[in-house]
Amino acid sequence: MPPGDLEDLARLVSQVLTLAGLRDCTAGLGPGGYRVYTLDGQVTVAWFTASPLYEEAAQIGGSYPQHPQAVLDEELHAVMERAAASVLYAAGFTVTLKPPLRDAGPHEESVPKVIVTAAPRFRAWASG
């Protein structure tokens, strides 16, 4: 997909997620929310929990991945990314949800991903 098309797709994804009431946290961490980015020729949606939980869970999870705070943070990411994928799918986007690898090795990517590959032809949110 050409870079301009990727940016347009990312913009449309952000519009729909914002219309659904989700917070865009692209400007930085803080209260948490979604972030849409383009990488390797695809549009990806990620969810971030509020900074204190995110930072503490990352610190604890490095040494104790089964610690309740690390598990909570991981599960919140997974639930909210599934929700974002469902919202986008309902709006007509072509979406792939890649679940996390629970027993990933050190060189394997273990985070879930919401990958958006196409926008709908009819944009119900833009009519009126």
The pLDDT tens digits of the residues spanning 92-111 come to 999 998 876 666 555 555 66
Report how far residue 115's alpha carbon sits from residue 95's, in angstroms, rounded to the nearest whole number: 6
pLDDT at 14 over 70: yes
Q: Which residue blocks in the chain are alpha helix, DSSP H? A: 3-19, 51-63, 68-90
Residue with tokens 């972030």: 35
Q: Tokens at residue 1, please?
A: 């997909």
Average pLDDT over residues 18-36: 83
Average pLDDT over residues 30-57: 82
Residue 62: give the domain boundaries: 3-126
pLDDT digits (tens, 9 = 90+) for 88-97: 999 999 999 8
Average pLDDT over residues 55-70: 76
Number of domains in the chain: 1
Percent of the chain's residues with pLDDT above 90: 35
What's the whole-model pTM score? 0.81
pLDDT at 2 over 70: no
Average pLDDT over residues 29-58: 81
79 vs 28, higher pLDDT: 79
80 vs 53, higher pLDDT: 80
- pLDDT given at position 106: 53
Residue with tokens 């990352």: 58
